């Protein structure tokens, strides 16, 4: 945030950034704020969300973060921003795998649910 503006200036990057923000908002609303947890640990009384965007992607909030940051790397490229993006990507992948292990233990149907959709990026991962 300190290395350049936080709003993209090109139409292409602005579209990517807006898509990331919209995806994040949709994911939070579909999860229901009471079910949301900032840590990668399921809430004790949480419920498995498998509708809406979660029917396609298991971790849409992680994808939303990556899209927003990617848009800013594209528009205001610097090696620092690229390094931060790569660190964020690596961090989210480790966090995603950790969270998946917790979710499998917490929800009986998580293994079956995870066999039907993508972790992060449809048709890729």
Tell me how far apart the alpha carbons of residues 107 and 18 are, in angstroms, rounded to a whole number: 32
The structural domain count of the chain equals: 1
Q: What is the domain range of residue 73?
A: 11-114
Share above pLDDT 70 across residues of the chain, in percent, rounded to a whole number: 97
Does residue 110 form part of some domain? Answer: yes
Q: What are phi and psi of 57, to 5 degrees?
A: -125, 130
Does residue 120 form part of some domain? Answer: no
Tell me how far apart the alpha carbons of residues 109 and 111 are, in angstroms, rounded to a whole number: 6
Does residue 109 form part of some domain? Answer: yes
Does residue 24 form part of some domain? Answer: yes
Supply the pTM of this predicted model: 0.89
Tokens 């419920």 -> residue: 47
Model confidence pLDDT, tens digit, residues 15-41: 999 999 999 999 999 988 777 777 888
Does residue 1 form part of some domain? Answer: no
Q: What is the DSSP letter of 108?
A: T
């Amino acid at each position: 945030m300190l290395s350049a503006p936080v709003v993209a200036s090109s139409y292409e990057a602005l579209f990517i950034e807006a898509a990331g923000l919209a995806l994040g908002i949709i994911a939070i609303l579909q999860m229901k704020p009471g079910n949301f947890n900032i840590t990668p640990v399921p809430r004790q009384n949480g419920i498995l969300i498998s509708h809406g965007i979660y029917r396609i992607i298991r971790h849409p909030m992680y994808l939303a973060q990556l899209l927003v940051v990617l848009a800013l790397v594209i528009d205001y490229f610097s090696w620092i921003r690229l390094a931060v993006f790569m660190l964020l990507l690596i961090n989210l992948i480790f966090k995603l795998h950790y969270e998946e292990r917790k979710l499998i233990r917490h929800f009986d149907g998580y293994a079956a649910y995870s066999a039907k959709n993508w972790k992060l990026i449809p048709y890729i991962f």
